[in-house]
Chain A
């Protein structure tokens, strides 16, 4: 199952883990042996479960996992946990209260999780989207959402008449930057003149501001709206203006039935099932994974009926090829905004470079 990319990433993780190793955790190695009849799994969320975005997706996955594993698992969660000491306290409390595995689902929980993981060598910790782990009992997991961005870019490139997309973005962290690049690269494969105009709203969640940003982009000629923020406000704005848009994190069709073409769905359920099962049968080992469409962690919601057949087919092809491992949007030649070739023909961007990406491809305006 492990491809080259992932083992490279694992090597990097092993290095980080070694650097962070502490005597407490080392002494407790081998905690992986021995299964359990029932597992207590706890989740820590940064937002309310009612945000209909990032946290909502994780909570849907929690419920799905609980349903799949039935009475072999007991799940709890704490929502709206501020990143920092409060998170550390919550994670510690969950460990003290007998959780066997704790999923910490926001980047800002990374350092608190590391601290607590060192104090509780017998508890398993899983942190989403971080880059550092405590050794022995802490895993890192993330999803290749950029694969979905390539599907969106393909649809945008084929359907846009103005050749201009508006991209509402939160913060210029690598996760967001690579999404913008994947979207633009895919769109320019279909329409070489395609442009992506980025508007940074400096927030993950501010419906009014997201809507205003979408309206500004629409009034300046964008006829596609896509976003890396959490609220359905931008797709509602797109629907009003007769443009097309894509949902974020979950299927948002109900908010804008005409504008909503498809959505990248954060499907964490298979991963949660797998990891809790690993605790159940005693095979849990720390790892650093970056799963994608191949693993069923990134999926697309059903295409809008109104999408032309050829667009549907092209989008489906990108999805199928990615799933089969034959398509990587970050394959050269890739030129940057200055027009210089960054990645030569035939080469792929290695994962460790993607994870600190801070440059934009040609066609991105930010």
Chain B
């Protein structure tokens, strides 16, 4: 049937794991250049303006860091869940609820002063995200409801909740009836990490979150539990690890970090809550998590690459008039290629048909979620009840 066949590797190839994202980005650039040329644009210039020009301009470096910070925070939380085979795709909603939780505190404290206000807002943001992620966690552990579906549905509910609050109860009374809250006060605003720059406190927080997560996943028993449950729920149960506890842990962590990203964005760059608060970070973070191969350190790099597609996309618009839709197409292409090449990390390409798998568990071993290995895949969450 086919000239080539795939044969599971005994162990995920480390070299292939590291090379896959780089090759994927490169192929996406080539494919993008061809696609844009076919659509009547200058493909090579497009690639240059999106991926190279912003890197040559020091002004843009700060922009990249600021844009990458929320992506890195959310993606880190999601990646830990994905490793445990918990498929939270509701980060967008948890991000919104985080922003709303913090905004609730902000609206109660508009006339107050004190250094405690911002930490209280951040705490409320984290709790907001966690509370929202608790819904799919509860549905999955108590009723066996697939968290992919429940968390996705909740994203749209969160957006409508935001619209409702902006149009009604939380609208700025002095704001000419425009649907948005009052501006946050000085004590409610996230300070800059480095005075005189655009780099707010969220940027170092993002780096700290990723590094902590890296330590957690590689050096602690919790990380081992998450990876074990992700690799094989049955084996993990034998080892005494609870699948349900892992589901709760993964969702609350993912939700809490998405909530953190939400309130950092609201209290920092936004400085108020507006209907346009959700900009798809929750979805982009899924791309970032995969681009970073579910490794917190890889995610830091991946978040910068994705930030580059946004910032570079704007640059290409002004420089050569490339439509904004092109940046979106590029993001999708990168992910397509990454996902396509991912298989090379866990499988070897062989000429001719593979005659027989080496052993029945070869496939499972190939996807054992050690850092830098291939990516686990969602299993039958609906029927997995502990």
Contacts and interface: CB of A to CB of B under 8 A. Distances in A.
B179 A171 contact: yes
B325 A48 contact: yes
Contacts of B279: 82, 84, 86
Contacts of B268: 85
A48 B324 contact: yes
A122 interface: no
A80 B279 CA distance: 11
B274 A108 contact: yes
Contacts of B271: 111
B177 A77 contact: no
Interface in A124-139: 131
Given A83-B274, A93-B314, A202-B163, A356 B324 contact: no
A79 B317 contact: yes
A84 B323 contact: no
B277 interface: yes
B167 A171 contact: yes
A81 B323 CA distance: 12
A258 interface: no
Given A84-B276, A111-B272, A93 B176 contact: no
Interface in B309-367: 310-311, 314-315, 317-318, 321, 323-325
B178 interface: yes
Interface in A117-168: 131
Nearest to A85: B269
Interface stretch (B39-47, B59-67, B221-229): B59-67
Interface string A166-193: 0000011110010000000000000000
A342 interface: no
Contacts of A97: 318
Interface string B215-240: 00000000000000000000000000
A352 to B, nearest CB: 10
Interface in A200-230: 202
B386 to A, nearest CB: 42
A98 to B, nearest CB: 10
Interface of A is mostly: mixed
A173 B176 contact: yes
A356 B177 contact: yes
Interface string A71-110: 0000011111111111011101110110000000001100
A355 interface: yes
B265 A90 contact: no
Contacts, number: 79
A88 B269 contact: yes
Nearest to A177: B177
Nearest to A357: B177
Nearest to A48: B324
A6 to B, nearest CB: 18
Given A79-B324, A111-B272, A356-B177, A84 B314 contact: no
Contacts of A84: 269-270, 274, 276-277, 279
A90 B314 contact: yes
Contacts of B323: 48-49, 79
Interface in B123-146: none
A5 B295 CA distance: 61
A276 to B, nearest CB: 17
A351 interface: no
Contacts of B183: 111
Contacts of B317: 76-79
Nearest to A97: B318
A89 to B, nearest CB: 5
A82 B269 CA distance: 13
Contact of B176 (A42, A81, A89, A174): A174
A85 B66 contact: yes
8 contacts: A42-B318, A48-B324, A49-B323, A76-B317, A78-B324, A84-B276, A85-B66, A93-B311
Interface of B: 59-60, 63, 66-67, 163, 167, 176-179, 183, 265, 268-272, 274, 276-277, 279, 310-311, 314-315, 317-318, 321, 323-325
Given A48-B324, A93-B60, 11 more contacts: A48-B323, A48-B325, A76-B318, A79-B324, A84-B269, A84-B279, A85-B268, A93-B315, A111-B271, A171-B179, A355-B176
